[in-house]
Amino acid sequence: MYNRKAQPGLSAQCIILALFLLALLVSSCVKEKKSVQPPSKKSVTVREKARKQLTVLLDPSTVMKFVFVKGGCYQMGDVFGEGDSDERPVHEVCLDDFYLGQYEATQRQWKKVMGNNPSKFALGDNYPVEQVSWSDIQDFIGKINLMTGNTSRLPTEAEWEYAARDRGKRERFAGFSGESSLPKYANCCDDDYGSKTEGPDNEYKKTVPVGKHRPNGLGLYDMSGNVWEFVQDWYDPAYYKTRAGNNPTGPDHGQKKAIRGGSWDYGPRSLRAADRDGIEPDKRSSSGGFRLALPANNAFAISKGKQYFLQ
């Protein structure tokens, strides 16, 4: 028979052990409960702010900055009733979220990826690269995606106009509507092909460094002027009649690629956000450049295995 009196301290030891085990169990439950709690409003806010700008590092001194563009629906085309027939009919387009380059691609970025500088105005690393064709740009995109692990591409026409007009607002130019404000926002001509008013903001008969002028409401620079920007779509002057509604990518084939935004040697009419034109995919021009886009669901920046997100 077990003699309890022979082990007077045993009951106290058991109680202490039981309390210790109970404390461990309660602590584990509390940690598990905390782990499934929804994120605080503060943490969500931090993540949302981090999405506003994405920086891709090509090397420690060469970066490409992208602005987050929240998707939505807008009226695409000649909403002011002053454009050409290829800007009509005005039609509703709906887009998913995406990122768009804050600046036009620069000569420094092109040299880093391609090892050369084809630009006519080779005046500095921060000038937009030009004298590049749509086909040249596809080679650039292929190489930069291998370098960074991204899936960058050119924006579609619909994405470009939506971003230029600050998410589809009724704006004539990129960020404004009054023609008198053009010198503040854009490097351009008074009229097409060379006429310039001498003045502090509009005296350049060539490209200027990216970001020199004011940005639009999304923080995008040079969406009007400096260089024409290639987009992904084939150019079809009658395409708007198809009224493709959600994330349109343009015709399946064509002879020219669409370009947007006007340039240093074009006048106000060509700098309108709704203006459309086309150029052969292998043609190069000193007034032609580009900016890149990234899908929002597959956008990350890599340098030596690390991701960089900057506000």
Output the CA angle 226-232-234, nearest 5 degrees. 105
The pLDDT-based confidence of 59 (bands split at 50, 70, 90) is: confident
- Give the model confidence (pLDDT) of 202-249 as tens digits: 546 899 999 999 999 999 999 999 999 999 999 999 999 987 789 999
Average pLDDT over the chain reads 83
Residue 239, in any domain of the structure: yes
Say if CB 134 and CB 258 are below 8 A apart. no
Q: Is residue 210 part of a domain?
A: yes
Judge contact between 76 and 111, C-beta under 8 A: no
pLDDT band at 19 (very low <50, low <70, confident <90, very high): low
Q: What CATH number has the domain bearing residue 294?
A: 3.90.1580.10
Q: What is the largest CA-CA distance in the chain?
A: 114
Q: Is 18 within a domain?
A: no
User: pLDDT at residue 266 above 60?
Assistant: yes
What number of other Cβ atoms are within 10 A of residue 36's Cβ? 6
What are residue 258's DSSP bridge partners? 278
Question: Is residue 24 situated within a structural domain?
Answer: no
CA separation for the pair 154, 141 (Å, rounded): 8
Domain assignment of residue 85, yes or no? yes
Q: What pLDDT, in 10s, does the model give residues 86-109?
A: 999 999 999 999 999 999 999 999
Q: In this model, does residue 302 exceed pLDDT 80? A: no
Give the pTM: 0.80
* Percentage above 90 pLDDT, the chain: 64
Three-class DSSP labels, the chain? CCCHHHCCCHHHHHHHHHHHHHHHHHHHHHHHHHHCCCCCHHHHHHHHHHCCEEEEEEECCEEEEEEEECCEEEEECCCCCCCCHHHCCCEEEEECCEEEECCCCEHHHHHHHHCCCCCCCCCCCCCECCCCCHHHHHHHHHHHHHHHCCCCECCCHHHHHHHHCCCCCCCCCCCCCCHHHHHHHCCCCCECCCECCCCCCCCCCCCCCCCCCCCCCCCCCCCCCCCEEEEEEECCCCHHHHCCCECCCCCCCCCCEEEECCCCCCCHHHHCCCCCEEECCCCCCCCEECCCEEEHHHCCCEECCEECCCC
Q: Is residue 23 part of a domain?
A: no
Domain count across the chain: 1
- Distance separating alpha carbons of residues 105 and 205, to the nearest angstrom: 20
Distances (CA, A) of 242 to 14, 76, 86, 152, 212: 81, 13, 12, 27, 38
Q: Which two tokens stand for residue 242?
A: 């198809």
Domain residue limits at 161: 41-307
- For residue 238, being part of any structural domain is answered with yes
Kindly state whether residue 135 falls inside one of the protein's structural domains: yes
Residue 44, pLDDT score: 29
